[in-house]
Structure 1
């Protein structure tokens, strides 16, 4: 058994933040560089997926979020051999925030930040996010756990 990082499964989190029919995305600088995905990263020791999603969203975009809920899990094997299990966490923008509060907060990790209509996402899409969009995830059952575009409400568009 070797000890390289490709021999371990990474446990990550991705934050799906929706505002008025648009999803918050970041353009990745590394590992899928140039591709677009939701804010996210690896869990820190002892951290819950929900807390990691709130932290990563703020670190990457400066946006504060509330009401995080794990909604899906994906098993993502990347072309470079990296293997991640990703917790998909839906969260709402904090009530006192505006769309403009999302900004490039970590230029070392991300190249751009923006809100995009669900029907008009930028390309290329990062593999894990594409798997999520394609439904290649284990959906968590229970109240409030469907993907955000299957809910109703002001920040939850329906399709």
Structure 2
């Protein structure tokens, strides 16, 4: 097995926030997937549930309150080409808005260019690699 320095796998929780036929995506500003479109989400904290992490990260990044969270799948993603190689076990959740009239805000402009709703049949490109089929 190949290792990269002292790199340790981390757990990320990302959320498909859905509204009708649309999903919320933001354009990343980070070392992993810079300028790609991705779901809101972030690192799982010690002792935190997947649902708790999903709700916290979506609120921190977009200002949106979510509910009806459901575990969808888990992926194993190794980013060898990133400026800082990393390994993420990514937990994918699905959720809906508590109030469907809420609009996303860009709460972390240093990490994201902005959030918007995209129709499932017309997703922006490029998508973050972990969102693409193998």
TM-score range, shorter chain: 0.7 to 0.9
**Pairs within 5 Å for 1:1-159:** 4=6, 7-30=7-30, 31-78=32-79, 79-80=81-82, 81-94=85-98, 96-99=99-102, 101-130=103-132, 134=133
CA shift at 1:2, angstroms? 7.8
Using the size of structure 1 for normalisation, the TM-score is 0.75
Structure 2 gaps, min length 5 = none
CA shift at 1:97, angstroms? 3.8
| Cα pair distance change 1:75/1:108, threshold 3 Å | same
In structure 2, C-alpha distance between the alignment counterparts of 1:70 and 1:120, rounded to whole Å: 24
**What SS is found at the alignment partner of 1:121?**
coil
Instruction: Indicate the structure whose relative CO is greater, using CA pairs within 8 Å and at least 6 residues apart.
Output: 2
In structure 2, C-alpha distance between the alignment counterparts of 1:49 and 1:2, rounded to whole Å: 27
**What SS is found at the alignment partner of 2:71?**
strand
4+ residue segments displaced more than 6 Å:
none
Q: Does the 8 A contact of 1:63 with 1:97 survive in 2?
A: no
In structure 2, C-alpha distance between the alignment counterparts of 1:121 and 1:56, rounded to whole Å: 22
Using the size of structure 2 for normalisation, the TM-score is 0.88
Q: CA RMSD in A?
A: 1.7
Q: Does the 8 A contact of 1:13 with 1:42 survive in 2?
A: yes
In structure 2, C-alpha distance between the alignment counterparts of 1:98 and 1:20, rounded to whole Å: 12
